[in-house]
Structure formats: structure tokens, C-alpha cells
Amino acid sequence: MTAVAPDIEESWKLSLEDAFKKESFVSLKAFLQEEKKRYQIYPPGPKIFSAFNLTPITAVKVVLLGQDPYHGPGQAHGLAFSVQDGVPPPPSLQNIFKELKDDLDIPVPQTGNLEPWAKQGVLLLNATLTVRKGEAGSHQGKGWEEFTDQVIRTVSELRAGVIFLLWGKFAQQKEELIDTSKHFVLKAAHPSPFSAYRGFLGCRHFSQANEILRENGLGEIDWRL
């Protein structure tokens, strides 16, 4: 199989040109083609790269790292922690909204769709970009992690002053990919109900991120939905 870049926003296509040519990515594409013959895969194909298409690399101000897409019907649409309009927010997202309320006094949104954040420069990046319906983690270790690690390295190399929000141990392991001499890293527990009360709730990352952006002469994120 020859290496062909996916349908992805142009600045990412250019920045990740080498990643798309790697054997691991070619093998990943072959794996996904076989998976689609046998299983329902989330998110739908056109939405797999939504995070990139909504947030060009030239626009990235904040990177929020997730792990896996949601595996329930209608939930995943290519943005970490986000669900499509009309879908009830899962527990982790409910805790994110609780922290927003406590931190910035933002009322709990009526939607769990985080596209407005993405359009303002928040790269909502999962480490694994696809999953089988009803099978959490089913596409881990198939090549996505190598690709998304390269995404983090590329943002680190090509940009400066980006704020990385690393929630939970999995995300915090990615700090080694980031040049912390020119970027900002904010760490907290994961917003999952299993860990949110061990340091996520009360972390005030939303106001901290805006303070950093303001101090560096960059536009703040409007976290309201």
C-alpha cells in the first residue's frame, strides 16, 4: 500500500508529511480498512481528523490531551472529551463543566460539543483516534499512538508558547515529547469520577491558561459553549 495523506487540513498535511509516510501509519490504514469490514468504528470516517481540521497548527494555543474516543453510539466526533450535539455529556465531561463553573463561573452548558473551543485554537487531541463500537481501547497499540506522539512533537517544534493541559497519568507521560523551555505545561488528575476529586476539581486550569495567553499578548479562550 502506498502512503497517501488523509483528508486533513493543509497546514497539518504539510507539517506531518513524514508521519504519513511511515510504515506504522501505512499499516494503521490497512488495519482500519479491515476493521471497517467487520465492525462499526467510531468516530465516522470523515470526523476522524476533526481536531486537525478545526484547529490548524498555525492556530494552536492550547493542547488538551485525551486517550480514546468514546465508544457509544453518536458520541465520538474526533475531538477529545467532546460529544455531538444532543448527546448527554459523559461523566468526565460533566466534571470538566463543574470545574469551569467553579473556576470561571461559567454556567453548565446545554451541549457537550466542544467545537467552539477547537475553533479558537484548542487542539482536542486523543492519543488514539478510532475505536470499535462498545469496545474501549480496542484500537490502542495499532499505530495511532506513534502518529499522535509525532503530532505533539511537531507542535512542540514548530510553535512556541503553547499551553499543554495534561490531565491524568497517561497524558502526563507525554510531557517528555514537549520542549518545556518554550511551552507551558499544566498538570492535574484526570476528570474521570475515579480521580477528579484527587486534584482535577480545583485545578483552575481554564483561568490559568487564559492568564498565560493574556500575559503573552495572545487572545484568551472563551470557554463558554
Asked about 105 being catalytic, the answer comes back as no
Q: Which of 18, 68, 85, 102 is catalytic?
A: 68
**Torsion sign across C-alpha atoms 72, 78, 80, 86:** negative
User: Three cell numbers at 166?
Assistant: 495534561
Q: Which residues have a catalytic role annotated? A: 68
